[in-house]
Amino acid sequence: MRILFLGDVVGRSGRDALVAKLPDLKRTLRAELVIVNGENASHGFGLAPDMARAFFAAGADVITLGNHAWDRKELLPYIAETPRLIRPLNFPPGTPGAGVTTVELADGRKAVVLNAMGRLFMDALDCPFRLTAQELARYKLGASVSAIIMDFHAEATSEKMAFAHSFDGQVSLVVGTHTHCPTADYQILPGGTAFQSDAGMCGDYDSVIGMQKEGAAIRFWRKMPGERLAPAEGEATLCGLLVVTSDSTGLALAVEPVRIGGRLSQAMPTV
C-alpha cells in the first residue's frame, strides 16, 4: 500500500496549498491512502467543518487532530457524524468523535488509522501507550487489516521515539505531529515499522512554527501575553512522508520525505 501522510495544516496558506496541490501530488505518488493532520487549519487554531470538507474533496481519506481539536466548537457535531475525522483516542470517555477509523480501499484492502496525543509537556490525558495497545489488540496487521497508521501528536521527541519502539512490528507507520518542524530521522525500525519524529507542517516556514514571527518573537522578549497569534501568510511548504508497505505483512518497505513548494529544500519520493 502507498500511504501519503501530510503534517499539520496551518492557516489559510497551508489550506490553500493543500487543496491546490494534493490532487496532483496524490496522482504523482500513486498514493492509495492519504492522511492529513488538520488541527491548525483554522487561523492556526482548530478546524472548521467546511475546511474538513475541502480537504476530503481534494483527496484526503482521513483527517487527524490534536490539542487544538475543540478550538472551533462547530466541529463537535460534525466530528460525531464523520468517521474519517478522528481526534486523539486518549481524550476522556464521552468526548465526541473517535480516535480510530477503518478505511476500505477500492480493491477491498483495509487500513486502520489511529490518533493519540502525548502527555510530556502536553495536557494531562489518559495514557496513550496503554490505550493504543488496547486498540491494537483488535487487529492483526497483514491479516485482518493491510496497514495500520499511527499519528502521535506530541511535543517531546523522546516520547515519540519511545512510542514508536513500543509498537514496532505491530503497525505500518508511527509519525509524529505537533511541533511543525520536519525531522530528518525518517527510517524503518528493526521490527518493520516506518517512523519519523515529526512530519512537519503544511504552512509558511518564514514564521515561528507557522505563526507570524513578529508577534511570536515579542512574547519571548517580554514574557507577557500579547495579541492572539496570527498565521503567516506566505507561500506554504507541504511537508509529510510517503510510506510503501508490504501487502503480505503490512510492514514498511520504504519511507521517504515529502516537501513541496515554499522555502524549504524540496523532496519528492522516488519509490
Q: Can you say whether the dihedral through the CA atoms of 17, 148, 120, 72 is positive or negative?
A: positive
Q: How far is CA 181 from the centre of its chain?
A: 12
Annotated catalytic residue 68 = yes
Strand partners, 177: 153
Q: How far is CA 129 from the centre of its chain?
A: 18
- Alpha-carbon distances of 178 from 103, 249, 255, rounded to whole Å: 24, 29, 20
Which residues are within 8 A (CB) of 119 and not within 5 positions of it... i.e. 6 or more apart?
125, 127, 128, 154, 159
Distance CA 96, CA 78 (A): 9
Q: Can you say whether the dihedral through the CA atoms of 72, 77, 82, 84 is positive or negative?
A: positive
Given the residues 43, 68, 165, 180, select the one marked as catalytic.
68
Catalytic residues: 68
